[in-house]
Amino acid sequence: MSDSLERLYRAVIAARTLDPATSRTAKLFQRGPAKMARKLAEEAIEVVIDAVSGKQDAVIRESADLLYNLTVLWAAAGIRPQDVWDEMDRRERVQGIAEKLPKQKTAIKTGSAGIPSPRRRVVA
């Protein structure tokens, strides 16, 4: 699989400077990371909905779209697939391949009204 994502990544890098009128990838790069993030989120939601509905073929198709949009976002952020594989290798050494590392707990800051302040900016 990593070989397929590596090929996809190289294709995304090659297509990012093409004409946005004819290249979906170039159009995403032209619109910027917020649009890329929205597309990635849309595809993730579609995968979840199809999985919950038991639509295996749709999950496969939407997963391919999800991986494409993730790869586009990686490329825009300057992240190579190898960077992700390296992180996965690191996690495997620490916890095992099937385990997700727990998030470190951080204190939630509250504003003057006692309402938790957002920890990160939400992009819509």
Is 42 domain-assigned?
yes
CATH assignment at residue 23: 1.10.287.1080
Name the percent of the chain lying above pLDDT 90: 69
pLDDT of residue 97: 72
Is 56 domain-assigned?
yes
Cα–Cα dist 57/70, whole Å: 20
User: Looking at per-residue confidence, does 108 or 37 come out higher?
Assistant: 37
- The mean per-residue pLDDT over the stretch 3-29 comes to 96
Residues comprising the chain, all counted: 124
- The distance in angstroms from the start CA to the end CA of the chain is 31
Q: Which domain holds residue 81?
A: 2-95
Q: Domain count of the chain?
A: 1
- The mean per-residue pLDDT over the stretch 79-107 comes to 81
- The mean per-residue pLDDT over the stretch 18-24 comes to 96
- The mean per-residue pLDDT over the stretch 18-39 comes to 97
Is 115 domain-assigned?
no
- Predicted model pTM: 0.76
Is 53 domain-assigned?
yes
Is 88 domain-assigned?
yes
